Amino acid sequence: MKPKLAFFDFTGCEGCQLEVLNFETELVELLQHVDIVNFREAISEKGQDYEIAFIDGAVTTESEIPRIEKIRQQAKILVAMGACACLGGVNCLKNFHPMEENLKIVYGANACEYVWYYNTIPARPVSAVVPVEYELPGCPMNRYEFIKLAKALLLGKKFELPNYPVCVECKQAGNVCAFDRGEICLGPVTRAGCNAICITNGRRCWGCRGLVDDPNVNSEKEILQKHGLTVADILGQFRLFDGYLEVSK
Ligand code: SF4
Ligand code: SF4
Ligand code: SF4
């Protein structure tokens, strides 16, 4: 019997599920070893007898709470996929404002009459609602890490995320540091695993993979010192993807 996988979207752009579909060759190979029984972006079946559930998106409405609890009851293994599911992601920007104000800004002045309809609540990562076995960070999640995790689950092997900052991969790529271009970069406190793709392409790191474990110890302090900054200075810039941490302190 092949293990049964299911994919579920909560609040997000569903870009992480697209990343799975974009991985055409490896996905075909994976399908030889698993059955996908629920994946709205790809198939019309709605199987409920899965063992491994992949969740894309954050929990941002009342109605999503019983939905994720039901999925948790069924799945032996629950995987949060992408910054929205792992961190709350950009959805948590709404947590800094009253929910009714958010409704007015997005849906217009009359929206508050329909609060019951939108049932919006402060956004949360999946792990803030139910236990999660694995997380695949990033916006979108890294499709190579998805395949690595899928293989580890099939083979019963250990899966671990890199626990060093993006700066390590950035230096390996030979990039000019964004601080030297006069920009603030979150690479010193952000978990590696993306090969510093944004900096390699002329941008800076916005921290979409979340904090490395214990950033105060692991951060690339010499880069910060060179530019007169501390870990605390750049942690303050973490709101775009990691605002949940800030409001839940
Ligand atoms: S993490 Fe990014 S790509 Fe994935 S669902 Fe959220 S916004 Fe979309
Ligand atoms: S601070 Fe940013 S640009 Fe500089 S080395 Fe680290 S990741 Fe690269
Ligand atoms: S460089 Fe930073 S923002 Fe870009 S993918 Fe990596 S962790 Fe995310």
If we measure between CA atoms, which residue out of 194, 183, 97, 86 comes closest to residue 134?
A: 86
Residue nearest to atom 5 of ligand 2 (CA): 167
| CA 187 / ligand 2 centre spacing (Å) | 5
- Nearest ligand (C-alpha, residue 169): 2
Q: What is the pLDDT along the chain (249 residues), one digit of tens a residue?
A: 899 999 999 999 999 999 999 887 888 899 999 999 999 988 898 999 999 999 999 999 999 999 999 999 999 999 999 999 999 999 999 999 998 888 888 888 887 777 777 788 999 999 999 999 999 999 999 999 999 999 999 999 999 999 999 999 999 999 999 999 989 999 999 999 999 999 999 999 999 999 999 888 777 888 888 888 888 888 878 888 988 987 676
- Going through the chain in order, the beta strands assigned E by DSSP cover 4-9, 35-39, 52-56, 59-61, 77-81, 120-124, 134-136
Atom of ligand 3 at shortest range from CA of 186: 2
> Count of CB atoms within 10 A of residue 19's CB?
21
189 φ/ψ angles, rounded to the nearest 5 degrees: -120, 5
Q: Is the CB of 194 under 6 A from ligand 3?
A: yes
Q: Kindly list the strands in the beta sheet with 134-136, ordered across the sheet, starting from the edge strand earlier in the chain.
A: 35-39, 4-9, 52-56, 77-81, 134-136
| pTM, full prediction | 0.93
